[in-house]
Amino acid sequence: MTNTEVFEQVKKMIVTQLDVDAAKITMTTNFADDLALDSLDVFEVIDKIEDEYDIEIETDDALATVGDLVNYVVAQVSTPEE
């Protein structure tokens, strides 16, 4: 799975879940600064992503931007389960 594929899916989830303008979402978009999302909003998106990709996202990790989240998901999906 590529970063572009995951980005498009994450972007769709953010737009659908939080009613954010899709034009505002890039890899460098900061959840708090650029989208004015609080931790609960981000948690809602993370919850959807976990369901979609069947992964566990550690919310302790620094996931400040859309790119951080996309890279995390790609790394998790690419790592074979033990």
Which residue is catalytic, options 38, 41, 51, 68?
38
Contacts for 72 with CB less than 8 Å, ≥ 6 apart: 57, 61, 63
The H helix count followed by the E strand count for the chain is: 3, 0
The residue assigned the tokens 């909003």 is 41
Asked if 34 is an active-site residue, the reply is no
Query: Annotated active-site positions, please?
Result: 38
